[in-house]
Amino acid sequence: MTSHRPIEDRLVIATHNPGKLVEMRDLLATYGVGAVSAGELGLPEPDETGTTFRANARIKAQSAAKASNMASFADDSGLAADALNGEPGIYSARWAGPNKDFRFAMNEVQTRLMKVGAKAPERRRAQFVSALCVCWPDGHLEEFEAKVNGTLVWPPRGDKGFGYDPMFLPDGHSQTFGEMSSDDKHGLPPRGRGLSHRARAFLKLAEACLERR
């Protein structure tokens, strides 16, 4: 049986993305773990040169742990459309450009889906994927990954969440992530359903490394 290292102290959240920061802080708060962001500490954003979500999460966590000398928590996540051979995938944020214009990014996804004739719901299947990594200053790593399946809708619906949330309709639900409250999308039981990809990955991490306080 694999031995996991418990998370006991405050973490650095290795992100400069305000939407992701809110979700990750909310998840950690459930377990009484405080956090400061890489942006608040003025840490640089490393080049994400990995070819998988897991590799890029590791790069970000390792960079923040080295720069801050604190345990650091990173997420790499994105949207993978079946009809686009998994794109935008690890490039999900980059499709939004330097200004993080996800309206533009969603339009790009829709344009490409139309080019391949993906009009019917069964041709618009997709997954949101999240890889989480916690890295300690001594180099120890804990890594977890999860996904949620759904369908890409058009036009986008809702103004909650961030990124591609308004065009992603999770299986078994009538609201897109962009229409859901934060509790419905990523709140953990018993408050929420742990529905999102990030919440599902976090529940795996929590089971291994955290205790409710």
CA 102 to the chain's CA centroid: 15
DSSP β-ladder status, 125-135 and 72-81: antiparallel
Q: How far apart, in whole angstroms, are the C-alpha atoms of residue 174 and residue 90?
A: 27
User: Token match 């003025």: residue?
Assistant: 42
Does the annotation mark 76 as catalytic? yes
* Residue from 26, 75, 76, 165 carrying the catalytic annotation: 76
Catalytic residue numbers read 76
